[in-house]
């Protein structure tokens, strides 16, 4: 298997793991990306992104990272990614943007009461890694 594909599998696996790690914590309790909370709220600016976490945005990011792993196994696995690497780049960017928007939303809604946890940071890191890996491996090949 090509090193580029192995790196993509590792980054996608870390992103999938981030779904189940704590995203935020408050007073000894934590919530991960699969936490679901139902309720009616008046949504203002960043609260809509906070609601993404509350309806289980982690399941969405889990599926997207699973697609990046499927991309790594598609085609001839002994060769680097071809044109499909652009799909991997967009997947990584989408996940990183979701993570950044959730950080902003959680900080705006619960700034003094809650703390961001490692899972959300790992989600952003894995999203950036999934989008950067095709470029790093392509540069190393030349």
DSSP state of 74: S
Query: Across the chain, how many H-helices and E-strands are there?
Result: 5, 3
pTM score: 0.79
Q: Give the Cα separation of 53 and 108 in Å (integer).
A: 14
Q: Is the distance from CB of 134 to CB of 81 less than 8 angstroms?
A: yes
Q: How confident is the model at residue 1 (pLDDT cuts 50, 70, 90)?
A: confident
The side-by-side arrangement of strands in the sheet containing 22-26 is 29-32, 22-26, 115-116
In the predicted structure, residue 137 carries a pLDDT above the cut 70: no
Q: pLDDT tens digits, residue range 53-81?
A: 556 678 888 899 999 999 989 888 888 88
E strand spans, the chain: 22-26, 29-32, 115-116
Q: Give the Cα separation of 140 and 122 in Å (integer).
A: 25
Q: Is the distance from CB of 60 to CB of 91 less than 8 angstroms?
A: no
Q: pLDDT tens digits, residue range 76-128?
A: 888 888 888 888 889 999 989 888 888 887 777 766 777 778 888 999 999 99
Q: Is the distance from CB of 18 to CB of 10 less than 8 angstroms?
A: no
**Tokens describing residue 135:** 């470029």
Q: Give the Cα separation of 46 and 49 in Å (integer).
A: 6
């Amino acid at each position: 298997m090509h090193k580029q594909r192995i790196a993509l599998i590792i980054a996608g696996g870390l992103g999938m793991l981030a779904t189940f790690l704590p995203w935020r914590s408050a007073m000894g309790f934590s919530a991960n990306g699969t936490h679901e909370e139902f309720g009616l709220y008046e949504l203002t600016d960043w609260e809509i992104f906070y609601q993404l976490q509350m309806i289980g945005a982690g399941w969405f990011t889990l599926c997207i990272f699973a697609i990046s792993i499927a991309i790594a196994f598609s085609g001839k696995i002994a060769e680097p990614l071809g044109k499909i690497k652009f799909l991997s780049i967009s997947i990584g960017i989408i996940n990183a943007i979701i993570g950044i928007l959730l950080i902003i939303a959680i900080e705006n809604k619960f700034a003094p009461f809650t703390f961001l946890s490692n899972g959300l940071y790992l989600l952003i890191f894995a999203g950036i890694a999934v989008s950067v890996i095709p470029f790093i491996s392509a540069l190393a090949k030349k």
